[in-house]
Amino acid sequence: NPASHSRSPMIHNRIFFDSRACAAYSIVETDSFLDVAEAFARGDRFAPAGLSVTAPFKGEAFGFAVAIGARISKRATAARVVNTLVREQTPAGPVIIADNTDVEGFRVAFDDLGASVGSSAALVGAGGTARAALVAAREAGIRVTIFNRSEEHAKERAGEYGCEARALGELAGFEGDLIL
């Protein structure tokens, strides 16, 4: 937030058009995640059927998913952040699914870059997207060192994910395979 610069509507709406899906992707900028999320969860008449969540709301979206009893993917649970919420109608009633698709995005990138078990990566930052990168790196067997402006925050995140932490100023000395 703000997100008005995002190219997501252009990308997703083209996919919807090409696949003949009756859907539209639009941006809602808000200072309160719950302004949109509560209407979504209730299934209000003009509420979206799905949410693509970005900073700074990914952590709040995870807490929201937990609070409403959403079906949370293993990757979103491991990352403790959610970037995708979808309301599905089932014979038993509506179900909300919470996921973190960033994890899969990192996994695909690791494969495309030839990263393998034992590769080493520098992760710049320790926020919501960093959590997804850490989950993907753990799945791929990649050793990570977190570099962050706040070394304390980096150490906290590193403790959660079993990796190393350094001050951002030390990044120039990193010798490894990837910088994320």
Give catalytic residues, as residue numbers.
58
Give me the residue label for tokens 């710049």.
124
User: Chain centroid to CA 71: how far?
Assistant: 16
Give 4's DSSP letter: T
At residue 156's C-alpha, the angle toward residues 150 and 157, to 5°, is 95
User: Chain centroid to CA 127: how far?
Assistant: 10
Neighbours of 8 (CB within 10 A): 13
Q: Mention every residue, 6+ apart, whose C-beta is less than 8 A from residue 168.
A: 124, 147, 148, 149
Which is it for the CA torsion 160, 104, 65, 73, positive or negative?
Answer: negative
| Closest by Cα among 115, 112, 133, 114 to 124 | 133
